[in-house]
Amino acid sequence: MTRQAFRKTLSANDTGQTKSHQAGMLIPKGDQEFRDFLGTLDPGIKNPRRTILCLDESDEKLELQYIYYNNRLHDERGTRNEYRLTCLTGYLRQNGARAGDEIEISKDDEEPLFRIAFVPQAHALPAKIILRGWRRVH
């Protein structure tokens, strides 16, 4: 059985601390390994998405949305051309997530569901986050 796992250090924007309105966590277009891990999205379809079924640390089921917002490719005045992972707000709030904390998404080849885990960090001072996107956990 092969397990793959990816982690992301959360920014203040990811956790809602900035009070901004955004549609989920950005997945860099260049992060092909993580995008392949989540599954294929057809760019020929406007705003394709797939549901990512996860179990959290308490075996509660979460339904995340992996979306390619691509109206730039389909609408004359479209502006978006980005990948996002959405429907995480409730999970992050439930865990008291703050900038500097991490989330990990993993999957075993033989399991039908992904796993999601909240990884809190010590917060003595406000975290300075270097935006790097998702990274593979080895």
Centre a 10 Å sphere on the Cβ of residue 137 and count the other Cβ atoms it contains.
13
What CATH number should be reported for the domain whose range is 3-137?
2.40.330.10
What pTM was estimated for this model as a whole? 0.84
Arithmetic mean of pLDDT, 42-65: 97
Report in angstroms the alpha-carbon separations of 27 from 32, 82, 96, 108, 123: 9, 7, 22, 21, 25
pLDDT tens per residue across span 71-82: 988 989 989 999
pLDDT, residue 125, reads 54
pLDDT tens per residue across span 94-133: 999 999 999 999 999 999 999 999 999 876 555 555 556 7
